[in-house]
Amino acid sequence: MTKVAAQLSISHPGFSTRAWRLAHGRSLVLGPRGHLKGIVNVTPDSFSDGGRFDDLEAAVKAAEAMVAEGASIIDIGGESTRPGADPVDAETEQARVLPVIAALAQRTDAVISVDTYRAETARRAVEAGAHVINDVWGLQRDPDMARTAAALGAGLCIMHTGRDRQKAEDVVEDQYLFLGRSLELARDAGVPDDAIVLDPGFGFAKDADENIELMARFAELHALGYPLVAGTSRKRFIGAVSGRDMDRRDIATASTTAMLRLEGAAIFRVHDVAANRDALAMADAVVARRLEGTAR
């Protein structure tokens, strides 16, 4: 290994060992290897799997299958976030996700994440057994979310979105602006730094060019100082590049998993765990070899 390559591997923050603090006394080691977060949408209208898991037993079996295929985390959502989806009220969302979370908490040791921007849903989900709150509005939709996450001691995934606001022209600058505000809210509420991971929100009010630019400049996001999540799975921009329909985008998704792992992403939110597990294993093998070289 060249001196320059060794220095890059040593200094790359995406590969540094960090413990992600979660609810219920749990933690997850991030850095040396990537983790897969399997998506289970308990909804009738999500863009990829809507209607497939809107039955309790179907959702639980799907989650268990994902864990068997290599997912460390299962993300349970009760409201579709696709553009144009009909909103649901809190009671409907909770009726969908809470039974699944409670069942999974009894049947698997996987980390359970609840995909919600509502503080009350987050509270009830963590009480039911969830370890992580995944807020697609970056703590900026429900003013009680940051305080709730802090009080619960939950892991917190803060996502960037461009929806319902004026974005900065530069995609990375917009990440810094939006996520900077989210991090300010988290700190003011008392959320500890080691409970936070950041998601740049691929596909959320971003066109194909913006998503590709964000992938190309992904390493710049490490300046924010937190582990990074990549949620590219089956997104529209992958279809624009690959020419594939939504249900045939898993190979292209897996390629983004490998590429973004080499850029230091820590967690990958995916629909097809098996395909992405293989891609991640190859990327992790390269990362491990680089890190071994720095120790020689």
Catalytic residue among 18, 206, 269, 277: 269
Catalytic residue among 235, 236, 261, 290: 235
Q: In the Cβ-directed half-sphere of 148, how many Cα atoms lie within 13 Å? A: 22
Of all residues in the chain, what percent carry a pLDDT higher than 70?
Answer: 91
Tokens of 210: 């913006």
Q: Which residues contact 221 (CB under 8 A, 6 or more apart)?
A: 172, 175, 198, 200, 228
CATH of region 3-295: 3.20.20.20
Domains of the chain, by residue range, sit at 3-295
Residue 289 is a catalytic residue: no
Task: Give the pLDDT confidence of 263-281 residue by residue, as tens digits.
Answer: 999 999 999 999 999 999 9
Cβ proximity of 169 and 210 under 8 Å? no
Cα–Cα dist 250/272, whole Å? 7
Q: Which residues contact 46 (CB under 8 A, 6 or more apart)?
A: 77, 80, 81, 82, 85
Q: Choose the weakest-confidence range: 4-18, 159-173, 187-201.
A: 4-18
Task: Give the pLDDT confidence of 73-110 residue by residue, as tens digits.
Answer: 999 999 987 666 678 999 999 999 999 999 999 999 99
- Rounded to 10 deg, the angle between the 171-189 and 145-152 helix axes is 60
Residue 37 is a catalytic residue: no
What is the SS3 assignment for 37?
strand
- At 145, the amino acid letter reads M
Q: Which residues contact 132 (CB under 8 A, 6 or more apart)?
A: 22, 23, 73, 111, 112, 113, 114, 154, 155, 156, 157
Mean pLDDT computed over 131-156 = 98
